[in-house]
Chains A and B, each alone.
Chain A
């Protein structure tokens, strides 16, 4: 059984192989076989992950850390060592299980969703490539291997967002995601450079062991630079702007990459590198408040979105904010817990919205939906499960994990803890409200579907993943039940070795009552949000189609609908001063100095080449002369050195 620990590299290798096969032979394999092939490879990875999990579980608690180096890229000579290996520990096993599990369901769903697309096989090649990169990211034994996966998922995200590149908006959105992510990547790279120069290694375990020897400033810098990387990938303010636009991609992509897995890479990275954060309380504060601002800001924006997927996109940004709040108070276990449950219910919601879009022939505006539960009962039923989960209704998955984060913040204490709790409280209320709004606008109330559209339920291949995810959204929270500690906090206990000594301030045993009370409050918020939502939208939209909230909020509503004009602001700055500055650089510095230099080199090379070509007469006697001249030159030089 332990052998599986050495063979964990098979888990990313399988989908990578699938991707290669599909890229080369995809057209020949065709639809739907290439979809099944891709699903098969990721499914096999899931099974392999299960065995790896069992293998790790069979180890004693303090031995659950297994590094296996596949090969050394460079070694032997000098200090520059680049080992390529995998690190199997409780954290990476949790990640591979949920990435492969949810990945398999979404691959399966895509076979139905992408039916008839001219680039069907190409889509699955990219999906498999994404899965391989994501698994490399979480399994890597060093920052560099993780970074390779990190770049891989970024590339796949770009390819899949702009998958329908014939649509200009899709192509633009892809570019926006790519460029924004690069900003974060620079942070990640700088963190690695700094670490290597100070510690001489970027392998996880040696780097963590050496972290305590560094100065406080260095550790804070590394932690914050890693956080910049995480902000890009996990869409935290102000690098969140790419995620809502990323919804231009096919919906399964939104579910897999932009909700369940890739966007949580930042959370994973900080949990993996928590040693640096633990040493630096100031880094913790920054992470916590960025998370809080994101959680609240995105939740307010989600209230005023009309596109079914954009609501979910802002909701994802907001939930990611929660996870960073948890990291900010040192509650890494809670962050991972919420990451997993969020993956369940957000994947479910996205796939459900995909089924709606599919059933309505590419309609995404919620104002032209309504009362769809009659036409697509399974989609509606499962969507409601997702809604209750994210709104935090007991006993759905989201309740447990969100409550965990809020409780951890509360008991962290001090102005930071209490402040974070208050922000989380408000955001939770808003979450319940906007999700209620979405469910009522889409599935209940008056039917506002255009007359020539005939809604229909999706095929089984799409509804089956919905059912599985609905079940997971219901039961998912049971993997880590609070109150009963330490007996039933399975996930928390399992993760302990990876995040040892850093689970935040434990809830003291005496505060059990307080914890219970907090849970009741959390439940109360969820219920109130739902109640407000129902009272506003229970009949759908009025005949004039104007959202009641829009009318009541007035100017504020307009600001929210435009996401605080953040995008506009960025665009204004980029098109204004930045473009001006860029033009200055382009025309002045670049045009004259750098271009001059480059063109100068180019011209010199060209002219030199032409000159050399003139020497290349093709006449043997000239060549012989050249050799003779060279020989004379060498002898003359040697003569000068004769002693």
Chain B
């Protein structure tokens, strides 16, 4: 036994542990640490529930604030020195990573704010929700930084598992459990496909490192591209599932509707950002040489998402479902940006990557805002999100109706809201790249989607004859809507962001533009 070891030892090379670059992982470590601390606290402190709740909220915000601080530092670093790789090339620190992490982190903070009131109303466990949200965000942040397909997969699983649990978080509600289960089964299915895609790509290129793949493809001409192209297809399926792009979207309405509303808000914004971050890095980065092969597929996905998102949203009678379908439509708009990712990189033109990043940011605030209003409107048991519950809302709750109107107008793309600038940026990048068809289809979809959003707006401003009749007959009026402080702050922040991004978009557009220029080499 010992003899064997003695013989074997010189043959095995010593395991080279990669140098740990702490600033690179500091945001992730802060989030993960906060999540672990909350779990430990919950397990160890048994006597005072209030103490645990308060402390875990403080811990969660401390973790997010620390992460935000380190992100600022990373941005500064990236601006000084340009993007770089670390952890033996498995992790990238660059503009794209920082921008996507910032969106995810912001979505997490807003999700926590919305979740506070929800947990109290539904009498659920607060620490668990916070821990899961933080863990989920950790996974997404790793995904944004991942520079190796295996790391991408690990990150994907980390945040997906947390999301499955979060979707089923409201254990007493069958819809929530159903949502969690559906998401889990289909998520596992798509993860398997994604993993197979990684295997095929590895088979074709001999490496899983994204930089390595790019170098390999640049240096070698493949005699048979079949393996690689099949890998593209399967990777697109896996990530297309996560961003809710048609035709891999069918889980979206069911899960978005069933999941607790704050979770829906968080996941619609953050998952899209993280998964699109990976898509941009993999396809616009490593597979750029084969752009003519994957571009038609992305074109198809974009058109399918736009059509399904707008058409199906038009017939929904449930506001949460409607917003879920509109989320599919928005994925289509971001896909336009991906489709022309590097086409406009030269000169004065707006690269698609920058447009896509800006769109993801704007979508995050408008989606969280809209779902936040839904969360405020729902009552115990997460009910009251049918279209008819919003009839005549403007008369009884002018502030809430006004906020939802703002978010819906932003999603329509009305000028002076962020949504307008985001759509304009995406269309411009498409036009700059000469992709007129896609820009045209996008514009048509935007016009048709106006019908979807304005239908809800008109419903809110239409008189509620039922309620008035009921009131005339002396029936009890519907309870007044209460905005809890957390949701109030979240709604204020998102509304302000939608307006600021619409009136003064230049600064953020610039940052998105810079972020795409500072890629890891």
Contact = CB atoms under 8 A, between A and B. Distances in A.
Contacts of B234: 631, 634-635
Contact of B448 (A601, A612, A630, A635): A601
A623 B224 contact: no
A579 interface: no
Contacts of A71: 504, 506
Nearest to A626: B250
Contact of A74 (B236, B237, B311, B505): B505
Interface string B184-215: 01100110010000000000000000000000
Given A73-B506, A624-B186, A642-B225, A609 B297 contact: no
Given A629-B247, A634-B236, A73 B350 contact: no
B226 A642 contact: yes
Interface stretch (A209-217, A429-437, A614-622): A614-622
A602 B313 CA distance: 12
Q: Is the interface of B mostly helix, strand, loop or mixed?
A: helix
Interface string A8-29: 0000000000000000000000
Contacts of B310: 605
Contact of A609 (B186, B232, B315): B315
Interface in A65-85: 71-79
Contacts of A75: 506
Given A76-B510, A624-B185, A627-B248, A605 B314 contact: yes
B230 interface: yes
A593 to B, nearest CB: 18
Contacts of A627: 186, 189-190, 193, 237, 241, 247-248, 250
Interface string B493-521: 00000000001111001100100000000
Given A605-B314, A627-B189, A73 B230 contact: no
Nearest to B452: A605
Interface in A43-83: 71-79
Contacts of A638: 226, 229-230, 232-233, 293, 297
A639 interface: yes
Nearest to B415: A73
B315 A606 contact: yes
A605 B186 contact: no
Given A77-B509, A605-B448, A638-B230, A623 B251 contact: yes
B182 interface: yes
B253 interface: yes
Interface in A587-643: 601-602, 605-606, 608-610, 612-613, 615-616, 618, 620, 622-624, 626-627, 629-631, 633-635, 637-639, 641-643
A637 B250 CA distance: 21
Contacts of A609: 311-316
B461 to A, nearest CB: 17
B505 A623 contact: no
A623 B229 contact: no
Contacts, number: 126
Interface string B240-259: 11000001101101100000
Contacts of A78: 348-350, 428, 432
A642 B204 CA distance: 13
B308 A620 contact: no
Contacts of B293: 638, 641
A620 B186 contact: yes
A613 B315 contact: yes
Contacts of B241: 627
A509 B190 CA distance: 91
Nearest to B247: A630
Interface in B78-117: none
Q: Is the interface of A mostly helix, strand, loop or mixed?
A: helix
B482 to A, nearest CB: 19
B378 to A, nearest CB: 21
A610 B451 CA distance: 16
A325 to B, nearest CB: 38
Contacts of B314: 605-606, 609
B296 interface: yes
Given A627-B237, A631-B193, A643 B225 contact: yes
A605 B311 contact: yes
Contacts of A616: 250, 253-254, 312
B311 A608 contact: yes
Given A71-B506, A605-B310, A630-B237, A635 B350 contact: no
Contact of B312 (A76, A612, A626, A639): A612
B519 to A, nearest CB: 18
Contacts of B225: 641-643
A77 B247 contact: no
Contacts of A79: 348
A630 B238 CA distance: 11
A613 B230 contact: no
A635 B233 contact: yes
Contacts of B504: 71, 73
B499 to A, nearest CB: 12
A72 to B, nearest CB: 5
Contacts of B505: 73-74
Nearest to B344: A77
A73 B224 contact: no
Nearest to B236: A634
Contacts of B236: 634
A514 B428 CA distance: 63
A7 to B, nearest CB: 18
Given A73-B506, A620-B185, A637 B233 contact: yes
A620 B350 CA distance: 41
Interface string B435-462: 0000000000000100100000000000
A533 B296 CA distance: 83
Nearest to B240: A630
A612 B252 CA distance: 13
A73 B193 CA distance: 44
Contact of B237 (A631, A637, A639): A631
Interface string B308-337: 101111111000000000000000000000
A620 B315 contact: no
A639 B293 CA distance: 10
Nearest to A637: B297
Contacts of B432: 78
A601 B448 CA distance: 9
A611 B510 CA distance: 42
Given A73-B503, A613-B312, A634 B233 contact: yes
Contacts of B224: 642-643
B503 A620 contact: no
Contacts of B308: 612
A289 to B, nearest CB: 38
A77 B348 contact: yes
Contacts of A77: 348-350, 428, 509, 513
Contacts of B509: 74, 76-77
B248 A626 contact: yes
Contacts of B315: 605-606, 609-610, 612-613
A79 B233 CA distance: 38
A613 B311 CA distance: 10
A370 B225 CA distance: 99
28 contacts: A73-B505, A73-B506, A74-B421, A74-B509, A75-B506, A76-B509, A77-B350, A78-B428, A602-B451, A605-B310, A605-B311, A605-B315, A612-B311, A616-B312, A620-B181, A624-B186, A627-B189, A630-B240, A630-B248, A631-B233, A631-B234, A631-B237, A637-B296, A637-B300, A638-B233, A638-B293, A641-B225, A641-B293
| Smallest CB-CB A-B distances: 4 pairs | A609-B315, A634-B233, A638-B229, A630-B247
Given A73-B503, A610-B315, 4 more contacts: A74-B509, A635-B233, A638-B233, A642-B229
Interface of B: 181-182, 185-186, 189-190, 193, 222, 224-226, 229-230, 232-234, 236-237, 240-241, 247-248, 250-251, 253-254, 293, 296-297, 300, 307-308, 310-316, 348-350, 421, 428, 432, 448, 451, 503-506, 509-510, 513
